[in-house]
Amino acid sequence: MSAPENKKSKHPDSGESAEGSKEKSLNFIQKIIEDDNATGKHDGRVHTRFPPEPNGYLHIGHAKSICLNFGLAAKYDGKCNLRFDDTNPTKEDVEYVESIQEDIRWLGFDWEERLFHASDYFDKLHEYAVTLIEKGLAYVDSQTPEQIRETRGSLTEPGTNSPFRDRSIEENLDLFTKMKDGEFEEGSQVLRAKIDMTSPNMNMRDPIIYRIRKVPHDRTGDKWCIYPMYDFTHGLSDSLEGITHSICTLEFENHRPLYDWFLEALDVFHPQQIEFARLNLNYTVMSKRKLLDLVDKGLVDGWDDPRMPTISGLRRRGYTPESIRDFCEEIGVAKYNSKVDATKLENAVRDHLNKVAPRRMAVLDPIKVVIENYPEGETELLEAVNNPEDPDAGTREIPFSRELYIEREDFMEDPPKKFFRLGPGREVRLRYAYYITCQDFIKDPETGEVVELRCTYDPETKGGKSSDGRKVRGTIHWVSAAHSKNVPVRNYDRLFIKENPLKLKKTQEDFTENLNPDSLTVLENVRVEPSLFEAESGERFQFERHGYYCSDIKDSKPDSPVFNRIVNLKDTWSKVQKKK
Ligand code: ATP
Ligand code: MG
């Protein structure tokens, strides 16, 4: 949701011109791009990229980066590449590579023919490394990893030069060739950029650009036993692809001088690195390592568990791509880190589904109602509106009969005055059906629990309207006992009970201790109206008065759906948390 125009134009950073006041204000990255386009930098070209490391499934934080990169390309008639950052030879996994592509497509974005891998550039990167050596800007260091670490200095102390720093260009070229040819052991030599061991920026203290790893790579096999480091690879891959604006998260801000240094030292096309704040959401964790932990320990049902903040989890839960894109748009891009309330994400899907999800009746905790004056064995079909928000959604027919189910909580034996639902002698409207009055109730003699309500209906109130102008306050939902079916419903809730699951109490050892024990409750006795039996896998509905539900894409079978709760109709979480 955007702020009202008059409020927005008062914002000092709105960046809005008077004549453009109808347009949404530009975010700081859009401003940079528009300034670049105005000065003719990159000839007005906009080319971005999304560069995931294929070591896990994408999460909602990645969605923000995807929406940003692909969104900017779309807005400025540019292009966005997908590039797998596969410099690390051990971690690649086909499952991850495939899921990442599926998730980006599902979100609604297309890299067309521009799918790249950092490993596509290994030859070129090797040439660049040789060029740096030839320019006297890189050297082979034969110190041990410990010595390299110890001589790096600290934030308060400068580093010291390696005794191998002043090797001749010839010697460096020879040693680098031997590294490449496998003549050295892992860890015995590295190639380092020759920058400044006293730089206040630790990243500039002769960073390593190549290391020996005697492991084959998924895509290049055993062609290489030396692999380039991330900082070296990333900027040069951007340059090779002609990326104009290389957007990354804030933790890379102090890597930018190094990003620029490589491009200048090699005198190649120079993209601009721009940093923005990563998305942090409360009540969940977002690092792939932590998410993998949950998967490996079996604490969730895989990466696509509907409680996971992964894109595949949100998809399975029932989130729509539109709602995720709206959410990313709404939270915007900033230059400072902050935490976004999970409620915002939930509101986004609620808002979208309110417009598009058909309404259905489902009784989650049923109690039987017998309409004593309705003929036995008779059924009539009543017309129900599919979505009051969408006139094109039409109507459907639902069967009504003598025996029904309603929600247990819609009856009270001894209700207070303000309880506008059923109680002895009280009248309510059954949605799309009739007015009914409770005449009596039957209790289980052993438990004392109310097990059945005896009611009468008023045949003059068909469609829920009385002919004599008599009004009832309450409208409740229902299903016909004989025509409804029992389906499993999974009520999902937030995965963690703590706003910041990574903040541990003294008595806690691990963030998994903050998992919400009630994040999944399976309801076994839910009765749903007939039209829900044939729900397509992945189809989303509003269960009237409850919330939004999606037929599970993994476990639903034809004619036997399993439903996942996406969100409640209203935000109940905030209230519950306050009470606790
Ligand atoms: P994680 O820390 O979750 O493992 P990562 O940064 O290591 O994430 P990458 O695969 O390297 O994951 O990320 C691909 C792109 O997505 C990068 O450009 C990164 O900046 C961006 N990204 C990752 N996490 C977030 C986030 N929480 N918010 C916004 N962008 C993100
Ligand atoms: Mg990473």
Q: Which of 429, 446, 477 is the last residue of a domain?
A: 477
Least confident among 12-26, 116-130, 243-257: 12-26
Query: For residues 146 and 261, what is the distance between their CA atoms, to the nearest angstrom?
Result: 26
Are 330 and 188 part of one and the same domain?
Answer: no
Single-letter residue type at 406: I
Q: Which of 251, 278, 305 is the last residue of a domain?
A: 278
Three-class SS state of 272 = strand
Catalytic annotation, pick one of 8, 24, 152, 278: 278
Does 20 have pLDDT greater than 90?
Answer: no
Q: Which of 240, 257, 278 is the last residue of a domain?
A: 278
- The residues whose Cβ lies within 5 A of ligand 2, an ion, are 53
Are 140 and 256 part of one and the same domain?
Answer: yes
Which residue from 308, 317, 300, 321 is spatially nearest to 548, judged by alpha carbons? 317
Ligand 1 atom closest to residue 280's alpha carbon, by position in its atom list: 27
Ligand 1 contacts (CB < 6 A) are 51-53, 61-62, 64-65, 248-249, 278-279, 286-288
In a domain, 7, yes or no: no
Are 57 and 86 part of one and the same domain?
Answer: yes
Which residue from 82, 46, 42, 87 is spatially nearest to 65, judged by alpha carbons? 82
In a domain, 381, yes or no: yes
- Beta carbons of 402 and 375 less than 8 angstroms apart: yes
In a domain, 491, yes or no: yes
Are 267 and 135 part of one and the same domain?
Answer: yes
For 125, what's the count of Cα atoms within 13 Å in the CB-facing half-sphere? Answer: 27
pLDDT at 91: 59
- Identify which ligand lies nearest to the alpha carbon of 61: 1
pLDDT in tens, 116-140: 999 999 999 999 999 999 999 999 9
Mean pLDDT of the chain: 94
Does 104 have pLDDT greater than 50?
Answer: yes
* pLDDT category of residue 9 using cuts at 50, 70 and 90: very low
pLDDT at 92: 61
pLDDT in tens, 407-446: 999 999 999 999 999 999 999 999 999 999 999 999 999 9
Catalytic annotation, pick one of 16, 53, 322, 499: 53
For 460, what's the count of Cα atoms within 13 Å in the CB-facing half-sphere? Answer: 6
Does 334 have pLDDT greater than 60?
Answer: yes
53 part of the active site: yes
- Identify which ligand lies nearest to the alpha carbon of 288: 1
CB atoms within 10 A of CB 213: 17
378 part of the active site: no
β-bridge mates for residue 344, sequence order: none
Are 385 and 443 part of one and the same domain?
Answer: yes
List for the chain the helix, strand, coil content (%; round to 5): 30, 25, 45
* pLDDT category of residue 89 using cuts at 50, 70 and 90: confident
In a domain, 12, yes or no: no
Average of per-residue pLDDT across 31-57: 96
Does 2 have pLDDT greater than 90?
Answer: no
Which residue from 250, 305, 322 is spatially nearest to 280, judged by alpha carbons? 250
Number of domains the chain is built from: 3
Query: Which mutation among 48, 49, 60, 65 tests ligand 1's pocket best, with the greatest number of atoms within 8 A of CB?
Result: 65
- Between the CA of 68 and the centroid of ligand 1 the distance, in Å, is 12
Least confident among 14-18, 56-60, 162-166, 489-493: 14-18
- Supply the DSSP symbol for 567: E
In a domain, 3, yes or no: no
| Percentage above 90 pLDDT, the chain | 91
Query: For residues 522 and 489, what is the distance between their CA atoms, to the nearest angstrom?
Result: 6
Are 142 and 83 part of one and the same domain?
Answer: yes
Average of per-residue pLDDT across 520-528: 97
**pTM of structure:** 0.92
Which CATH number covers residue 189?
3.40.50.620
Average of per-residue pLDDT across 491-514: 96
- Identify which ligand lies nearest to the alpha carbon of 97: 1
Q: Which two tokens stand for residue 261?
A: 């240094």
Are 198 and 245 part of one and the same domain?
Answer: yes
CB atoms within 10 A of CB 277: 17
Range of the domain at 311: 288-358+487-579
Are 231 and 108 part of one and the same domain?
Answer: yes
CB atoms within 10 A of CB 84: 23
Q: What residue owns the CA closest to ligand 1's atom 15?
A: 52
Does 240 have pLDDT greater than 80?
Answer: yes
pLDDT at 338: 86
Q: Are strands 47-50 and 79-84 parallel, antiparallel or unpaired?
A: parallel
CA 409 remoteness from chain centre: 34
Q: Map tokens 């060029």 to a residue.
A: 131
Q: Which two tokens stand for residue 359?
A: 């309404």
pLDDT at 572: 62
Does 389 have pLDDT greater than 50?
Answer: yes
| Interior angle at CA 241, CA 238 and CA 245, nearest 5 | 50
Are 440 and 503 part of one and the same domain?
Answer: no
- Supply the DSSP symbol for 580: -
**What spatial distance separates the first Cα and last Cα of the chain, rounded to whole Å?**
30
For 353, what's the count of Cα atoms within 13 Å in the CB-facing half-sphere? Answer: 30
Three-class SS state of 452 = strand
Average of per-residue pLDDT across 103-108: 98
Query: For residues 463 and 382, what is the distance between their CA atoms, to the nearest angstrom?
Result: 7
pLDDT in tens, 285-313: 999 999 999 999 999 999 999 999 999 99
pLDDT at 570: 86
Q: Are strands 475-476 and 427-430 parallel, antiparallel or unpaired?
A: parallel
Burial of 262 (0-12, 13-18, 19+ CB in 10 A): buried
Which CATH number covers residue 557?
2.40.240.10
Q: Which two tokens stand for residue 406?
A: 């309603």
In a domain, 83, yes or no: yes
Does 543 have pLDDT greater than 80?
Answer: yes
Q: Which two tokens stand for residue 512?
A: 């998994």
In a domain, 11, yes or no: no
Query: For residues 319 and 61, what is the distance between their CA atoms, to the nearest angstrom?
Result: 15
In a domain, 1, yes or no: no
Are 312 and 419 part of one and the same domain?
Answer: no
Query: For residues 318 and 566, what is the distance between their CA atoms, to the nearest angstrom?
Result: 6
Are 368 and 325 part of one and the same domain?
Answer: no
Are 461 and 502 part of one and the same domain?
Answer: no
- Beta carbons of 11 and 332 less than 8 angstroms apart: no
DSSP labels, 129-166: HHHHHHTT-EEEE-S-HHHHHHTT--SSS-----TTTT
Does 8 have pLDDT greater than 90?
Answer: no
- Beta carbons of 70 and 79 less than 8 angstroms apart: no
Which residue from 150, 152, 135 is spatially nearest to 207, judged by alpha carbons? 152
